[in-house]
């Protein structure tokens, strides 16, 4: 297998499923999206249509023949499928149950990828009779706009399956990153280290949320969007990094628990966009406007970054 499979199935139509389906369909795959809930599938259809429209804005290649169907019949979704992505909620027991069900309905040579954002691949592999074709495939949210996928082989994953998945990811124009299994995987480990320090700075009253976001967006984020952190070490100079880290690292937040300020907000029902209040307060229509701004920004950034040679 050296290109995108003609028929693919996304099992789970929640936050990520519709965007994944839109990405695969644009690349020419016939995609089946399965969910146990008919209501969830109706919402997924709307999200799929939105994601497809966003991809039209992005432009880029579009392969004819791509499509998506939505079904509550898992047998219909999996019969004849050549590639499966499991994207159900992050509960080990649920994932293991669904994975066993998937395996009973597809051929022995069909790759089964899991979009888990942190559950170890080795914890799920025992649910399968053929764990050699099981592999981590972690998409970033929104999946139709973040063109990087973490590929995480499990202890039993066949090397040929890893190679095939790398080819599949490249076939729809994304950048695969191969990693060894580690809690949280690489992207979330780096992200959560940044978020931990950000929350600590806010709690200490060092900076306002607005200025913190400006600092990270136009300082760290802008820089790292072009220069990766390892390349940045070379550009800055390893001697400079050693000098600064020698005194700064001991000052950085090293908490191992969820910050209390976050726990307090959750207890107060302040969850962010979903409750119109979190780190910021959102008035009527603000959340929808912010989502549109974020989408437009990601589209513009993707177009720009896709046009330059990575450093």
Interior angle at CA 1, CA 6 and CA 8, nearest 5:
30
- Decide: helix, strand or coil at residue 83: strand
Residue 266 pLDDT: 98
Residue 308 pLDDT: 85
Residues in Cβ contact with 53 at an 8 Å cutoff, skipping those fewer than 6 apart:
none
Residue 2 pLDDT: 44
Residue 62 pLDDT: 94
How many C-beta atoms lie closer than 10 Å to residue 300's C-beta?
Answer: 12
Residues in the chain: 311
Residue 1 pLDDT: 37
Q: Which of 99, 32, 43, 98 is nearest to 71 (CA)?
A: 32
Domains of the chain from N-terminus onward: 7-178 (3.40.50.720), 186-306 (1.10.1040.10)
* Residue 112 exposed, middle or buried by CB count within 10 Å (0-12, 13-18, 19+): buried
Asked if 139 contacts 16 with a C-beta cutoff of 8 angstroms, the reply is: yes
DSSP state of 142: S
Residue 32 pLDDT: 98
User: pLDDT tens, position by position, for the chain (311 residues)?
Assistant: 348 999 999 999 999 999 999 999 999 999 999 999 999 999 999 999 999 999 999 998 999 999 999 999 999 999 999 999 999 999 999 999 999 999 999 999 999 999 999 899 999 999 999 999 999 999 999 999 999 999 999 999 999 999 999 999 999 999 999 999 999 999 999 999 999 999 999 999 999 999 999 999 999 999 999 999 999 999 999 999 999 999 999 999 999 999 999 999 999 999 999 999 999 999 999 999 999 999 999 999 999 998 887 77
Residue 174 pLDDT: 96
Residues in Cβ contact with 228 at an 8 Å cutoff, skipping those fewer than 6 apart:
310, 311
Residue 73 pLDDT: 97
> Tokens representing 178?
């191969």
Residues in Cβ contact with 310 at an 8 Å cutoff, skipping those fewer than 6 apart:
226, 228
């Amino acid at each position: 297998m050296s290109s995108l499979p003609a028929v693919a199935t996304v099992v789970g139509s929640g936050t990520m499923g519709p965007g994944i389906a839109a990405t695969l369909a644009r690349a020419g795959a016939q995609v089946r999206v399965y969910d146990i809930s008919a209501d969830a599938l109706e919402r997924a259809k709307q999200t799929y249509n939105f994601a497809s429209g966003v991809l039209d804005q992005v432009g880029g290649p579009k392969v004819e023949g791509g499509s998506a169907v939505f079904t509550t019949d898992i047998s219909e979704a999996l019969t004849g499928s050549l590639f499966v992505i499991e994207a159900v909620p992050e509960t080990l027991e649920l994932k293991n149950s669904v994975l066993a069900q998937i395996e009973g309905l597809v051929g022995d040579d069909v790759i089964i990828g899991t979009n888990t954002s942190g559950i170890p691949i080795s914890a799920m592999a025992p649910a399968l009779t053929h764990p050699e074709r099981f592999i981590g495939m972690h998409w970033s949210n929104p999946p139709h706009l973040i063109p990087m996928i973490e590929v995480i082989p499990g202890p039993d994953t066949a090397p040929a399956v890893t190679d095939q998945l790398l080819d599949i990811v490249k076939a729809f124009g994304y950048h695969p990153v191969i990693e060894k299994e580690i809690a949280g995987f690489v992207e979330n480990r780096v992200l959560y280290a940044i978020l931990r320090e950000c929350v600590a700075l806010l709690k200490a009253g060092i900076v306002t949320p607005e200025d913190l976001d400006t600092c990270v967006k136009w300082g760290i984020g802008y820089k790292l969007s072009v220069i990766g952190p390892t390349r940045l070490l070379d550009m800055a100079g390893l001697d400079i990094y050693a000098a600064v880290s020698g005194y700064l690292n001991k000052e950085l937040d090293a908490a191992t628990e969820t910050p209390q300020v976050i726990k307090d907000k959750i207890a107060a029902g302040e969850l962010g966009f979903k409750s119109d209040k979190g780190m910021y307060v959102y008035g009527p229509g603000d959340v929808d406007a912010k989502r549109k701004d974020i989408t437009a920004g990601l589209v513009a950034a993707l177009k720009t970054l896709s046009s330059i040679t990575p450093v």
